[in-house]
Amino acid sequence: MAKQDFYEILGLSRSATKSEIKKAYRKMAIKYHPDKNPDDKTAEENFKKAAEAYEVLSDDNKKARYDQYGHAAFDGPQGGGGFGGGGMDMDDIFSQFGDIFGGGGFGGFGGGGGHRQARVKGSNMRIRVKLTLEEIAKGIEKKVKVRRKIQAPGVTYKTCTTCNGSGQQMRITNTILGRMQTAATCGTCSGAGEIMKSKPNGADAQGLIVEEETVSINIPAGVTEGVQLKVGGKGNEAPGKNSIAGDLLVLIEEIPHDTLKREGTNIHFDMYVNFSDAVLGTSKEVETVTGKVKIKIEAGTHSGKILRLKGKGLPSIERYGTGDFLIHINVWTPQELNKEQRQFFEKMSKDDNFEPAPNKSDKSFFEKVKDMFS
């Protein structure tokens, strides 16, 4: 099933400002909040959709990738896109409210589930993965070794005495409208509701150790230079029994090919043929990004002719089909001739058949370039 457009979820146009995005999300969060809609699965689903949309559109980098590639920019294995169709954790969603509701928590609906304990999330890790054109064409699973922080075996925790495990501290403020109660994240446990009781030798002050792990990354076909994938839960862990690990962010780098040039989903290849083959015609074998193909060069082929192999380029990451493989014919003119060869060409230079005689079907260089980009 196709995913709903993030702008459509929040009721916005693609030209919406950051302020408008924030305002639209706040409105939906209030409308569909679980405390206002107990046991309402539809409201809960709308609440999650709004949170997913806001997580992307409120981040400049994520928004730019979404505007360019749509949901495909985040699709991938192991939560590679970060969303996986509405599977956000409710605690992750509530963690957004510090920004949306001024850092005072969401409370104030009454009748709800009280204050929600925050789940502390570990820091993200970033790596670069280099890919060849052949790997980009087919998609590939890469296994990489990363050194990430994890909770040390044997570390124990106890309830935070400052907030009594709630993760929040209540403050009462006198205002012109009367006494107002607000909730703020506990400064002792950072909202986790627990603090470290004991840690084994070798662990740092947070009870974490560094361990090397092999992570499998399934990279979809058609990715481009600069695309960033996310492998959920493979970043650094955080202290606490209820904490969640950060994410592994994978930046794609494209290895330049020796003979092929990429242009979006199209691939360009310069083929050099000798003068005799151009005159008489021949067959050639060409190595594309998906394997070898045999092509026919017609007799009388001119330098600059472009042969197009439909669908032999790269797949679109947005699933809009596959590009083409464009072969640019270059007739190679010999630089040195022996006596016999020179005599032959001197004789042919006076032959009418060797006189240039382009017809209307022969396109100029500029027309070919125009056709190529149209």
Compute the mean pLDDT over every residue in the chain, rounded to the nearest whole number.
82
> Above 80 in pLDDT, residue 105?
no
**Is the distance from CB of 276 to CB of 288 less than 8 angstroms?**
no
According to CATH, the topology of domain 1-116 is Helix Hairpins (1.10.287)
* pLDDT tens figures, 186-200: 888 877 888 889 988
* pLDDT tens figures, 109-167: 433 444 455 578 899 999 999 999 999 999 999 999 999 999 999 999 999 888 888 88
The rounded distance, in Å, linking the Cα atoms of 320 and 72 is 11
pLDDT at 324: 95
The rounded distance, in Å, linking the Cα atoms of 192 and 238 is 10
pLDDT at 93: 56
Domain ranges for the chain, please list them: 1-116, 260-373
For the ranges 99-103, 106-110, 172-176, 228-232, the one whose mean pLDDT is highest: 228-232
* pLDDT tens figures, 120-134: 889 999 999 999 999
Helices 41-57 and 18-32, interaxial angle, to 10°? 160
**Residue 230: exposed, middle, or buried by beta-carbon count in 10 A (0-12, 13-18, 19+)?**
buried
pLDDT at 372: 53
> Above 90 in pLDDT, residue 77?
no
Greatest alpha-carbon span in the chain: 107
Range of weakest confidence among 50-64, 135-149, 222-236? 50-64
pLDDT at 107: 43
More confident residue, 212 or 335: 212
> Above 60 in pLDDT, residue 106?
no
Q: How confident is the model at residue 68 (pLDDT cuts 50, 70, 90)?
A: confident
Strands (E), 275-360: 282-288, 291-297, 306-309, 325-332
Q: CATH number of 260-373: 2.60.260.20, 2.60.120.260, 3.40.50.2300, 1.20.1440.230? A: 2.60.260.20
The rounded distance, in Å, linking the Cα atoms of 323 and 265 is 5
Mean pLDDT over 58-65 rounds to: 84
> Above 90 in pLDDT, residue 235?
yes
What share of the chain has pLDDT > 90, as a percent?
39
pLDDT at 85: 38
> Above 50 in pLDDT, residue 67?
yes
pLDDT at 361: 63
> Above 90 in pLDDT, residue 286?
yes
CA dihedral 217, 220, 222, 226 (to 10 degrees): -40
Range of weakest confidence among 5-19, 80-94, 120-134, 153-167? 80-94
User: What φ, ψ does residue 63 adopt, rounded to 5°?
Assistant: -65, -40
pLDDT at 354: 77
The rounded distance, in Å, linking the Cα atoms of 30 and 11 is 15
Mean pLDDT over 297-322 rounds to: 90
